[in-house]
Structure 1
């Protein structure tokens, strides 16, 4: 799909610098001890294309990409935790 594939146990989070939902989720994941790789879609236009591809053409953030190729858009920290547990 792209060069933005997630590694096992560490999703890739697509964000923007001004996204309040992104900041909220990053805080929640940090408190939960979950690590992630972050890609700002404004700095990486090809990443914006990845986000649009999994969101019906919309560049909605935060979008998380997991090692199995699945994605979640604006998930809660508990949804991310459940998905990572499923992938173990």
Structure 2
């Protein structure tokens, strides 16, 4: 498996166990072949802190970080697949 930065997923999905919204988003991402990196906020304190920092202190998931090929970054809470794909396009 290639782990170089060029092959790293540009989409990071912050999630927690039992989140049905997270599962629905994963299914959509997989069906469209969109690569993503899942991060369990209950196992990663730094990820949980990040999610709280962008959600007014709440651990609202899915929180999604997207980095477009142009390097533009965005963070979205419970986004649609359409919003993620738009962010990926830059």
TM-score between both structures, scaled by the size of structure 1: 0.83
Structure 2: state its 5+ residue gaps: 1-6
Does the CA-based 8 Å contact 1:11-1:66 persist in structure 2? yes
Structure 1: state its 5+ residue gaps: 1-6
Asked if 1:50 corresponds to 2:68, the answer is: no
**Structure index of larger Rg:** 2
**Greater relative contact order (CA < 8 Å, ≥ 6 in sequence):** 1
Superposition pairs for residues 7-86 of structure 1, below 5 Å?
10-67=10-67, 68-86=72-90
The CA deviation at 1:32 is 1.1
More strand by share: 2
Q: CA RMSD in A?
A: 1.6
Give the 3 Å change call, closer, same or farther, for CA 37–9 of structure 1 in structure 2.
Answer: closer
Does the CA-based 8 Å contact 2:66-2:84 persist in structure 1? no
The CA deviation at 1:70 is 1.8
Tell me the number of residue pairs that the alignment of Structure 1 and Structure 2 aligns.
80
The CA deviation at 1:69 is 3.6
Does the CA-based 8 Å contact 2:14-2:47 persist in structure 1? yes
The CA deviation at 1:48 is 0.5
